[in-house]
Structure 1
Amino acid sequence: MWVEKTKTGKYKYTERYTDYMTGKIRRVSVTMDKNNPSTKKLAQQALLRIIEERQNEQPEEVQPLTLWQLVEHYRAYQKQSVKESTYRRNFYQCKALLGILGADVLVENLTANYIKERFLHTGEAFSTLNERRIRLIALLNWGYENDYIADVAYLRKFKPFKDTTHREKIQDKYLESKELTTLIRGIEIKKWQQLTRFLVLSGLRIGEALALTAADLDMYNKVIHVNKTYDANNRSVGTPKTLCSIRDVYIQPELEPICRDLLLTAKLESMAYGVRTPLLFFNRNGNHINPFSYNKYLRERSEKLIGRRITAHTLRHTHASMLLASGVNIETIARRLGHENSKVTREIYLHVTEKLTERDNDQIRQAKII
Structure 2
Amino acid sequence: MAFFRKLDSGWEYRITYRDQSGKKHEKSKRGFKTKTLAKIAASKVESELNSSVLELMDMLFYDYSKQWAEVYKRPHVTAKTWQTYNKNFRHIKHYFGNKKVKDITHTFYQQVLNDFGALAAQQTLDKFHYQVKGAAKAAVRDGVIKYNFAEGAIVKSQKPRRAKEDMFLEENEYLHLIDVARSKMKYASYFTIYLIAVTGMRFAEVQGLTWKDIDFESGFIDINKTFDYTISQEFAPTKNEASIRKVPVDNRTIELLKVYKNDYYQPNRLERICFGASNNATNKAIKKMVGRTAPTNHSLRHTYASYLIFKGVDLISVSQLLGHENLNITLKIYAHQLEKLKEKNDRVVKDIFSKI
| Category of TM-score, reference length = shorter chain | 0.7 to 0.9
Q: In 2 relative to 1, CA 341–99 (structure 1 residues): closer, same or farther, beyond 3 Å? A: same
- Deviation string, structure 1 residues 176-211 (Cα, Å, up to 9, x no partner): 211213444556853333222211211111111100
CA–CA distance in 2 between the matches of 1:81 and 1:109? 30
Q: In 2 relative to 1, CA 147–313 (structure 1 residues): closer, same or farther, beyond 3 Å? A: farther
CA–CA distance in 1 between the matches of 2:144 and 2:216? 54
CA–CA distance in 2 between the matches of 1:67 and 1:279? 43
Paired residues in the alignment total 316
Aligned pair partner of 1:201 in 189, 198, 202: 198
- Deviation string, structure 1 residues 1-56 (Cα, Å, up to 9, x no partner): xxxxxxxxxxxxxxx9987558698999xxxxxxxxxxxxxx9627x754442224
Alignment of 1:281 onto 2:274 = yes
Alignment of 1:260 onto 2:255 = yes
Q: In 2 relative to 1, CA 17–84 (structure 1 residues): closer, same or farther, beyond 3 Å? A: farther
CA–CA distance in 1 between the matches of 2:174 and 2:102? 51
Q: Which residue of 2 aligns with 1:244?
A: 242
Q: Which residue of 1 aligns with 2:278?
A: 290
SS in 2 for 1:172: helix
Q: Which residue of 1 aligns with 2:216?
A: 219
Aligned pair partner of 1:175 in 166, 169, 172: 169
SS in 1 for 2:85: helix
In 1, are the aligned partners of 2:227 and 2:236 still within 8 Å (CA)?
yes
Q: Which residue of 1 aligns with 2:307?
A: 322
Q: Which residue of 1 aligns with 2:58?
A: 64
Q: In 2 relative to 1, CA 328–69 (structure 1 residues): closer, same or farther, beyond 3 Å? A: same
Q: Which residue of 2 aligns with 1:85?
A: 80
Equivalences for residues 297-316 of structure 1 within 5 A: 297-298=285-286, 300-301=287-288, 305-316=290-301
CA–CA distance in 2 between the matches of 1:119 and 1:344? 25
Q: Which amino acid aligns with 1:309?
A: A
Equivalences for residues 84-123 of structure 1 within 5 A: 84-102=79-97, 104-122=98-116, 123=118
Q: Which amino acid aligns with 1:312?
A: N
Q: Which amino acid aligns with 2:68?
A: Y
Q: In 2 relative to 1, CA 154–25 (structure 1 residues): closer, same or farther, beyond 3 Å? A: closer
SS in 1 for 2:206: helix
In 1, are the aligned partners of 2:101 and 2:144 still within 8 Å (CA)?
no
Q: Which residue of 2 aligns with 1:366?
A: none
CA–CA distance in 1 between the matches of 2:205 and 2:135? 29
Q: Which amino acid aligns with 1:115?
A: Y
Q: Which amino acid aligns with 1:198?
A: L
Structure 2 length normalisation: TM-score?
0.75
The farther-off stretch of 342-351 and 274-283 is: 274-283
Alignment of 1:347 onto 2:335 = no
Gaps of at least 5 residues in structure 2 are 1-11, 20-24, 347-356
